[in-house]
Structure 1
Amino acid sequence: MKKLGAIFKQALVLCLVFLLLFCLYGLGVYVQFLHTLPSLRADIFESVYSKSVLDRQGRILSVFLNQAEQWHLKSPTPVPNKLKIAVLTYEDKRFSKHFGVDILALLRSVKNNFTQTKRSGGSTISMQVVKLYLKPKRTYANKINEIFQALALESAYNKDEILAMYLNNAPYGGNIIGYHSASLLYFGKDSTQLTWAESALLAILPNAPGLFNLHKNSQILQKKRDVLLHKLHSLGYFDETILHLSLKEPIPQGRKPVKNLAPHLSLKLIQKSTQSNITSTIDKQIQARLESKIKLYHKKLLSLGILNLAALVVDTKSGEILSYIGSQDFLDIENFGQIDGVVALRSPGSLLKPFLYALSIDEGLIAPQSLLVDVPMFFSNFKPQNANKTFQGLITAESALQKSLNVPFVKLLQTYGYEKFFFALQDMTGLNLSNASRYGLSLILGSKEMNMLQIARLYRGLGNYGYFGDLYTTLPYEKKEEKSYITQGSVYLTLQTLKELKREGDLDYHREKMAFSWKSGTSYGRKDAWAAGCSPQYTIVVWAGNFTGKPNPNIFGVKTAGTLLFELLEELPHNNVNFSLPASKLTYIEVDKISAYRLSEDMKALLPENATKNILFPIDSRILRTSPFYKKVFVYDGKELDSQDEHFMYAKPQLRLNLPLNMLTYYKLQNVNIQKHLAKQEKTLQIIYPTQNLKIIQPKDFNGQQELIIRIANLKNQNVSWYLDKNLIHSSSSSTLKILLPQGLHFLSIVGEDGSIDSVGFSVEK
């Protein structure tokens, strides 16, 4: 007995020592694994997930394979309750009660492994997470390690986090990893929409490695799924009707195709972010509808040789981009569909005119009804032409904007100041610093290249009542301060002018059904067609052309891009919202009926009754300038007199229309009777080109030096003597003269029969 007692004591000591060593070993494994886990309770699988871009409501826009060429998506939402119940019922029914290890399951596993040929692991979900994370070889030693590593995992994460890590990383066949990937590829839906039948199938798939081929093993999978469904029903999770419907759901026969939306933007976002799920501002439904619409529209343009399209839709109030379409089709390799047209720099054509219009109102230079001059003009070496090669003579500012006339806006830019306008654009769009003089007056015609994002910022600022700021593509974001550059009153007047722009074809008849303030633009050489505009709800920018930069005579802003803009607008909800009148920001001012400029008190006193009218004008703008089309004269016996005339003391003041000389010259060429204006015109002879101090680059043709054309205004059609560098070179009533000039400084004078004289100095350079 003593001997047996001694043996028992030795055995007990050995057991205690073994148990102590086992515990120390386990503690080491526990601590070592705990130190490998990331801080701040981050997902331990974060680095292996595929990247996906979600829309503003968490719906998948685009998904991309991970570095292992796997579909391994991390769900952006918690595990759906149906899937959670199905998985725990099938996989680990005591998951909520144990601390990472289920002793009863382990003992049952040991028994089965010794008594049956079919082996079972007895692993809990926590232990499977460890296995998925470390990928150890299948040995008893590693099984023991998993026990302590699971305990460490449970001490670092809560149950919901552990379950999410398991389901996000469980294998679902081939290169499909995670329930979110499986839901997308097997059922073609977001995992939040899973049915009970689909949840049951996803619960059994990770434990059925031999059944991953859905097409071959659908009957076996269906049997396993149905057994689980019956069990869930018996546990009271759903009623007989749901069971009946669930049992009838078919097993998927293969993968669903994955179509990425907004691919150009999605690629940019995943390159900038380290997150696996990136939430964008895009609205998936809008994006899908507009992508389909643009593909159909592209087919119409192909026969015209117009190969590429791009579009943006922005929430006017927030600046969030709702739809981003970089090309007609990302997969259109033949026509360079992978180029992102949204960020490509292009000439904006006439898209900047509304902003000069609004700023000029604020500067007091014009009101919408004010008259502008539209006749041939020279601005140093720059002679702008209207698109239709015709001129209107006198035209209201609002009509000039609606007709997109070039000459009145170049002249208006000269009055406003091209540098001042350039710096305003720079602030409103976030343009890089540049030399304004590089563009000069041609800036208003699109010589400064811009991209669609910059154009969208401009028009969104206009729709935001003059407050300009950043555009946003991801959620959440830190809202940056917006700055006002145009008064609300001026913005409203501009938006109302743009609202009345003529639309192409039948679109013009349905103007009241889709209220929208917009502007078209066609770049020089017909390379780019633009349409951009805004409502209180949306800001839309559309571009059409060729990514190669090839010109095309079929490219027209109104027809090519404008038609597409309204087709896109038609697809959007709430597409007929009008801008409200900011009554406190506008007031009525008195202007003359003819030119619609302000009149001084002296001028008002000289006008007949009913010669003025009231128009709306911004309260916060500078005072509207006095009319440049009137002058005060003194008349005696029907004749205008100057102060040196002997009858001047008997003359009475009158206010008379005073048309510019270039205006009268144009009317004369158009055979319009201008005699009634000549008697009042102080100057009837003037050199139009070249202008004073102009530097002329010597023109050349194929035969060498080219003749320079000198132009004069000769309203009385009198004989004129032309002097170049004090030498008489020509004498006639002609208004043009062609001449070859050497390099250097020159002085030109013209003298009329009535004694009128004008002169300019200029230079000719290589």
Structure 2
Amino acid sequence: MKILKNILKIFGILGILFFFWAAFVYFSFDKTEFLKTFQSRYSKVLYDRNGELLSVFLNQEDQWHIQAREIPQRLKIAVINYEDRNFYSHKGVDFLALLRALKNNIFLNQRTGASTISMQTIKLWDKKNRTYLNKLNEMIQSFALENHFTKEEILRLYLSNAPYGRNLVGFESAILFYFDKNPKNLTWAQAALLAVLPNQPGLIHLEKNKNLLLKKRDLLLKKLYDKKIIEKDIFELSLKEPLPHFKTHKNIAPHLALKLLSEDKKQVVSSIDKKLQIKFENKALEFAQGLKQKGIQNLAIILADTQTYKILAYVGSQDFYDLENLGQINGARAKRSEGSTLKPFLFALSIDEGLISPKSILLDVPTFFSNFNPQNANKKYYGLISAEEALQKSLNVPFVSLLQNYGYEKFFYKLKYFLDFKDEDYQKYGLSLILGTKELSLEDLTQLYLGLANYGQIADLSFLRDEPLKGLKTMFSKGSAYLTLQSMKNVQRFGLQNYDKTKIVSWKTGTSYGRKDALALGATPRYTLGVWVGNFNAQANANLYGVSIAGDLFFELLSLLDRLDLEFQMPQDLFNIKLDLMSKYRYDERLGGAYTYTLYPKEAKILRTSPFLKRIYEFQGKEVDSKDENFKDAKIQIKLDLPLNALDFLHQENLNFKSEKNIKILYPKQNLNILLARDFDKQKALVVKIANLKNEKVFWYLNQKLIYEGEATSRILDLKPKIYSLFIISESGESDEVRFEVKQ
């Protein structure tokens, strides 16, 4: 009796110890740490807007380990029937199954398991060896697991972390590499296969013991059929379905995946449309083959939904896997020269500033802006040209002049406000800012063009499906945006005569100085598209043109899109204003004369009157003033009053305009500081240009010394560093003078 009491006492003590040990194991379960452990193992995965997988990357253990989002119903049924038929009724441990397994192991010498899905989830988390003590631990922790999670959450955790052979973990990894399909489209045979695979992944997988694997799958299908879960014809068809083979997966939108994914954001649902992304990637690869024959290696593409600002396709290079040509560089984020692609924004801002209407005349003649002498890409000048035509032809001189009037500092900080770049040195760019000297990325430019397409409302690019719109700001009025878009509809499509004219797009190209970058960007009410073509190593190429290279790719991509027959709708803030008929600026009632009408934004500043018109009094074809005896009989006339450099150009083009002045020094400008390259004799050569409308003999004096007399309009002067005074005078007595300094 005493022995029995001692035994009972020992068992009592052991029971108490077991109770406290079990309580410790149970209450030491930390839900947060539990999830964090699993989270640290998952692969980084990018999904498209519809939940379709785009890119997946190996985890730190070189495994494809995808966290499940939603379990297909067929897989759920197959797994529960195979692994744990009482899953929804037990509290973590199935004691009847445990007793049955114990009986089979002892009396029938059959090793059968009794682990529930909850217990297996704990084992996958803890990764401890199979011992009785660890088994007991799993059972206790399973109760804790059931207390902290719902059944659906536990099932998802199990299927997210179950092994499926090779280096595949989680059923979504298995579906991707075995079936390459959407999990929602899983067949019963595939679901049954995925249910039995984790049971013995080291022994049974697709490369080993295939017959045993097939037998286990078919037995599960038979069980599902016997339970009347699947119909007879489905059962028979499922038995005939062969086992799959391992399939390699090529990531889609890999550049964007690397941009968006991180250790903190391992699963990202992007705004990408998988079907469009695949089309654009294929087109990029195809187009790149032709580019390589011209010595051009790289390109980048961004397609956005105009209305939502969401990115639908993002191609960072011609091919991410083209390692030889730096394909893993993300060209959509790289800062490159934007060429002439900022001109539409200066155009719209200048309308709002009251500087121009789209019809207003601008000068396109050889012009010196201090020491800056811009030229058009085709080396031609058009004389007098409307602002909208200057935009369509992408002329440099008119837009440099327009930037000078608008203010390059103001334009610089306008861009900085909307693009949030760090650069502060606007003086570094000066008037060349409008020609592409400030480097921006294709992302930056796409953001700007999206804003233009949204009537001046610029916002941050959105790469995530469920992300709200951020950073919404107004850059210019709806009216000026609309007028700009309308002008851009008529940009010439060189070499694109066969392009479908029903596809309406407002677009613009850009070519960087030195032919290193070619761009094409444009917008429709539905899509906004940006294209960059060039070399990541910044190598120049004579074939690089925005209109003929980037433009070709731009329109080939547009051909892949639908609903491009839509027009931008005219906003309500436009009204008709009077323009003078000659130069198309605001009609000046004091000058009088003929006029016409045009649309102009109500929100814009009042359009200025013409800088090129003046009123004169004319008698018998001769201009007279109040001192002339015929003044009382003279008629009022409105005439163009152009600057002398414009008159000089028109004179050379045999388009004569009368002028009160015929002699002017065009370059250098007054008080200009000049840095010139030294020649071999350490002299500094300066090309001086003058206007001489009447082709008179002109006398040139440099520092009061006669250096030339004749009709020439340019001279090369070899000058040492010092201050100079240049004075010219014609035979008729007209003169001009400038002071300038040549510096070391």
Relative to the length of structure 1, the TM-score reads 0.94
**Residue among 736, 746, 749 paired with 2:724:** 746
Give the distance between the partners of 1:657 and 1:117, measured in 2 at CA.
110
Q: Secondary structure of 1:45's partner?
A: helix
Which of 122, 139, 144 is the equivalent residue of 1:152? 144
The residue aligned with 1:489 is 479
Distance 2:677 2:60 in 1: 60
Instruction: Give 1:108's match in structure 2, choosing from 97, 100, 119.
Output: 100
Tell me whether 1:86 sits opposite 2:78 in the alignment: yes
Residues 597-635 of structure 1: CA deviation (Å, up to 9, x unaligned): 22211222xx2xxx3222111121122221233211123
| 1:386 aligns to 2:404 (yes or no) | no
Q: Residues 82-109 of structure 1, C-alpha deviation per residue, up to 9 Å, x if partnerless?
A: 1111111111001111110111111011
Question: CA shift at 1:407, angstroms?
Answer: 1.1
Correspondence for 1:451? 441
Aligned to 2:261: 270
Quick check: 1:298 aligned with 2:291? no
State which drifts further: 412-421 or 104-113: 412-421
For the residue of structure 2 that corresponds to 1:731, the secondary structure is strand
Shift of 1:656: 2.1
The residue that corresponds to 2:611 in the other structure is 628
Q: Distance in 1 between matches of 2:301 and 2:316?
A: 7
1:242 is aligned, of 225, 234, 255, to 234
Describe the SS at the equivalent of 2:466: coil
After superposition, where does 1:288-437 map in structure 2 within 5 Å?
288-437=278-427
The structural deviation recorded for 1:70 is: 0.9
Q: Secondary structure, in 3 states, of the residue corresponding to 1:461? A: helix
Deviation, structure 1 residue 377: 0.9
SS at match of 2:451: helix
Within the candidate set 585, 588, 591, 2:576 is matched to 588
Instruction: Measure, in 2, the Cα distance between the counterparts of 1:438 and 1:147.
Output: 71
* Cα offset, 1:210, TM superposition: 4.9
Aligned partner (choices 613, 637, 646) of residue 663 of structure 1: 646
Q: Match for 1:141 among 133, 136, 149?
A: 133
Report Cα offsets for 1:217-239 as digits up to 9, x if no partner.
Answer: 33322221111112112222222
Structure 2 unaligned regions, length at least 5: none
Preserved contact between residue 205 and residue 211 of structure 1 (Cα < 8 Å): no
Instruction: Report 1:594-613 matches (<5 A).
Output: 594-604=582-592, 607=593, 611-613=594-596
| Aligned equivalent of 1:700 | 678
Superposed CA offset, 1:123-171 (max 9, x none)? 1111111111112222112212221111111111111111111111111
Displacement of 1:80 after TM fit?
Answer: 1.5
Distance between the aligned counterparts of 1:545 and 1:134, measured in 2? 52
Match of 1:690? 668
C-alpha contact (below 8 Å) 2:204/2:212 kept by paired residues = no
Distance of aligned partners of 1:176 and 1:644 in 2 relative to their CA distance in 1, 3 Å threshold: same
Structure 2 counterpart of 1:732, one-letter code: G
Q: Which residue of 2 aligns with 1:261?
A: 252
Match of 2:42 in 1: 49
Looking at structure 1, the residues matched to 235 and 468 of structure 2 have their Cα atoms a distance apart, in angstroms, of 48
TM-score normalised to structure 2 length? 0.96
Structure 2 equivalent of residue 565 of structure 1: 554
The amino acid across from 2:357 in the alignment is A
Partner residue of 1:58 out of 51, 57, 75: 51
Deviation at 1:703, TM superposition (A): 5.5
SS at match of 1:349: coil
Match of 1:38 in 2: 32
Check if 1:762 corresponds to 2:733.
Answer: no
Pair 233,422 (structure 1): closer, same or farther in 2 beyond 3 Å: same
| Cα pair 2:165 2:202 within 8 Å, conserved | no
- AA paired with 1:330? F
Amino acid at match of 2:303: V
Give the conservation status (yes or no) of the 8 Å contact 2:459–2:469: no
Task: Please tell me whether the aligned partners of residues 172 and 212 of structure 1 are also in contact (alpha carbons under 8 angstroms).
Answer: no
Match of 1:555 in 2: 544
Indicate the SS of the match to 1:132: helix
Q: CA RMSD, aligned part only? A: 1.9
Amino acid at match of 1:282: I
- Residue ranges of structure 1 left out of the alignment (5+ in a row): none
**2:640 partner letter:** L
Alpha-carbon contact 2:204-2:213 (below 8 Å) kept? no
AA of the residue aligned to 1:517: S
The 3-state SS of whatever aligns with 1:68 is coil
Q: Are 1:349 and 1:522, in contact at CA under 8 Å, matched by a contact in 2?
A: yes
Instruction: Provide the C-alpha distance between the structure 2 equivalents of 1:59 and 1:730, rounded to a whole number of angstroms.
Output: 78
SS at match of 1:209: coil
Tell me how far 1:563 sits from its aligned partner.
0.9
The CA distance in 1 between the partners of 2:141 and 2:17, in whole Å, is: 17
Aligned AA (2:247): K
Shift of 1:16: 4.6
Supply the distance in 2 between the matched residues of 1:142 and 1:631 (Cα, whole angstroms).
Answer: 99
Query: 1:763 and 1:145 mapped to 2: Cα distance?
Result: 89
Q: CA deviation at 1:74?
A: 0.4
Task: Say whether the 8 Å CA contact 1:74–1:276 is kept in structure 2.
Answer: no
After TM superposition, list the pairs within 5 Å mapping 1:457-476 onto structure 2: 457-476=447-466
**Alpha-carbon distance between aligned partners in 2 of 1:232 and 1:573, rounded to the nearest angstrom:** 46
- Contact 1:211–1:221, Cα closer than 8 Å, also in 2: no
3-state SS, counterpart of residue 623 of structure 2? strand
Rounded Cα–Cα distance in structure 1 between residues aligned with 2:655 and 2:499 = 41
**Cα contact 1:174–1:212 (8 A) shared by 2:** no
Aligned to 1:519: 508
3-state DSSP of counterpart to 1:448: coil
Q: Given the alignment, which residue of 512, 515, 531 partners 1:542?
A: 531
Give the length in aligned residue pairs. 744
d(CA) in 1 for partners of 2:602, 2:545 = 37
Greater Cα shift, 623-632 or 464-473 = 623-632
Q: Quick check: 1:520–1:532 contact (8 Å CA) kept in 2?
A: yes
1:54, distance to aligned residue in structure 2 (A): 1.3
Q: Deviations over 1:348-404 (max 9, x none)?
A: 111111111111111121111221111111111111111111111111111111111
Q: CA deviation at 1:285?
A: 1.4
Residues in 1 aligned to 2:500 and 2:591: alpha-carbon distance in whole angstroms: 41
Q: Aligned with 2:590: secondary structure?
A: helix
CA-to-partner distance for each residue in 1:313-343, whole Å, 9 max, x for gaps? 1222222222111110111111111111111
- Give the Cα–Cα distance (whole angstroms) in 1 for the partners of residues 697 and 185 of structure 2: 89
Which amino acid in the other structure matches residue 43 of structure 2?
S
CA distance, structure 2, for counterparts of residue 238 and residue 703 of structure 1: 97
**Counterpart of 1:96 in structure 2: which amino acid?**
Y
Q: Please, which of 616, 627, 634 is the counterpart of residue 599 of structure 2?
A: 616
C-alpha displacement at 1:483, in angstroms?
A: 1.2
In 2, the alpha carbon distance for the partners of 1:457 and 1:430 equals: 12
Deviation at 1:15, TM superposition (A): 4.8
Is the Cα contact below 8 Å between 2:583 and 2:610 reproduced in 1? yes
143-152 or 115-124, which moves further after superposition? 115-124
C-alpha distance in structure 1 between counterparts of 2:249 and 2:349, whole Å: 48
Q: CA deviation at 1:569?
A: 1.7
Note if contact 1:428-1:457 (Cα within 8 Å) is conserved in structure 2.
no
1: distance between equivalents of 2:221 and 2:135? 31
Residue 432 of structure 1 aligns to a residue in which SS? coil
Superposition deviation, residue 508 in structure 1:
3.9
Shift of 1:649: 4.9
1:221 aligns with 2:213: yes
Tell me how far apart the structure 2 counterparts of residues 642 and 747 of structure 1 sit (CA, whole Å): 34
Q: Which amino acid aligns with 1:539?
A: T
